[in-house]
Amino acid sequence: MKTLQSKLGLLFLLMMGSTTLFAQGQDVIYTKMAKEKLTSKTELKTYLIEREIPDAGILSPEELRGISQKSCSVIKDMGPQIQWIHSYVTDDKVYCIYKAENEALIREHAEKGGFPVNYVTELATVIGPKTAQ
């Protein structure tokens, strides 16, 4: 059984790009490179984007749908490292909440979609009424 586990572990490491494997009893210790590949999911940060859009508050449902479809299309092409959470529309501005690996991806999304970006900030945390409890 140990031999089968070791062979499966070695096969996994080879598929992950590493060839070093040490077996100790039933535990398998992976090399640093393999361990990093196993745990290297980049955490997405949350950003607030301010977009100045004159008369945003009177955009029709069809216009808002078109803007939303464009944003979703660009995000789909960019991949999972950027996500649109939602947006708030005011008279002359739109405030968007996005998750992304970095600010550069926020700006790239805006450029590809033709959206203005007047201000971008990473959110430190979110509070609300439950925070007071």
Higher model confidence: residue 20 or residue 78? Answer: 78
**The pLDDT of residue 88:** 98
Taking 80 as the threshold, does the pLDDT of residue 14 lie above it? no
All domains of the chain, ordered by start, with CATH?
2-39 (no CATH), 45-123 (3.30.70.3090)
Per the CB < 8 A criterion, the answer to whether 97 and 47 are in contact is yes
- The whole-chain average pLDDT of the chain stands at 81
SS3 113: helix
As a whole number of Å, the CA-based R_g of the chain is 23
SS3 43: coil
Q: How confident is the model at residue 42 (pLDDT cuts 50, 70, 90)?
A: confident
CA distances from 85 to 24, 26, 76 (A): 45, 43, 14
Determine the average pLDDT of the residues in 94-118: 97
Determine the average pLDDT of the residues in 53-59: 97
Tokens 């979609």, residue located: 113
